[in-house]
Amino acid sequence: MSIKTRFHQLPSLIAAFAIVSIGSAHAAGSGDHHHGAGHGSMHGGEAAMAGPMSFGKPGKLADADRVIEIVMGDNYFEPETLSVSAGETIQFKISNRGTLVHEFNLGTPSYHEAHQGEMMMMQQHGVLMGDHINHEMMNMPMGDDGHVMSHDHPNSVLLEPGKSGDIVWTFTSGGDIEFACNVPGHYAAGMVGTVDVE
Ligand SMILES: [Cu+2]
pLDDT of residue 23: 38
Check whether 30 has a pLDDT greater than 60. no
pTM of this prediction? 0.72
Separation of CA 150 and ligand 1 centre (Å): 19
Check whether 53 has a pLDDT greater than 80. yes
Distances (CA, A) of 92 to 17, 46, 55, 162, 168: 26, 22, 16, 16, 6
Q: Which of 89, 120, 105, 98 is nearest to 192 (CA)?
A: 105
In 10 A of CB 149, how many CB atoms?
Answer: 26
pLDDT of residue 101: 96
Q: How far apart are CA 107 and CA 92, in angstroms?
A: 14
Separation of CA 100 and ligand 1 centre (Å): 7
Listed range (27-41, 55-69, 76-90, 168-182) with the worst mean pLDDT:
27-41
Separation of CA 183 and ligand 1 centre (Å): 5
Separation of CA 11 and ligand 1 centre (Å): 28
Listed range (14-18, 27-31, 45-49, 136-140) with the worst mean pLDDT:
27-31
Separation of CA 90 and ligand 1 centre (Å): 22
**How sure is the predictor about 52, in pLDDT bands with cuts at 50, 70 and 90?**
confident
DSSP secondary structure string for all residues of the chain: --HHHHHHHHHHHHHHHHHHHHHHHHHHTT-S----S-------SSGGGGS-BTTEEE--GGG--EEEEEEEETTEEES-EEEE-TT-EEEEEEEE-SSS-EEEEEE-HHHHHHHHHHHHHHHHTTSB-SS-B-HHHHT-B-STT--BS---BTTEEEE-TT-EEEEEEEE-S-SS-EEE--STTTTTTT-EEEEEE-
pLDDT of residue 19: 40
Separation of CA 112 and ligand 1 centre (Å): 13
Please list, in sequence order, all residues whose beta carbon lies within 8 angstroms of the beta carbon of residue 6, skipping any fewer than 6 positions away.
Answer: 125
- Averaged pLDDT of the chain: 78
More confident: 39 or 107: 107
Separation of CA 181 and ligand 1 centre (Å): 5
Separation of CA 122 and ligand 1 centre (Å): 14
pLDDT in tens, 102-148: 999 999 999 999 989 889 988 998 889 999 999 888 776 655 555 44
Separation of CA 165 and ligand 1 centre (Å): 14
Query: Is residue 156 within 8 Å of 106, Cβ to Cβ?
Result: yes
Check whether 45 has a pLDDT greater than 70. no
More confident: 188 or 38: 188
Separation of CA 81 and ligand 1 centre (Å): 16
Helices 109-124 & 3-28, crossing angle to 10 degrees? 140
Separation of CA 51 and ligand 1 centre (Å): 23
Separation of CA 4 and ligand 1 centre (Å): 31
Phi and psi at residue 43, to the nearest 5°? -110, 115
Separation of CA 143 and ligand 1 centre (Å): 31
pLDDT in tens, 157-196: 999 999 999 999 999 998 899 999 999 999 999 999 999 9
pLDDT of residue 35: 37
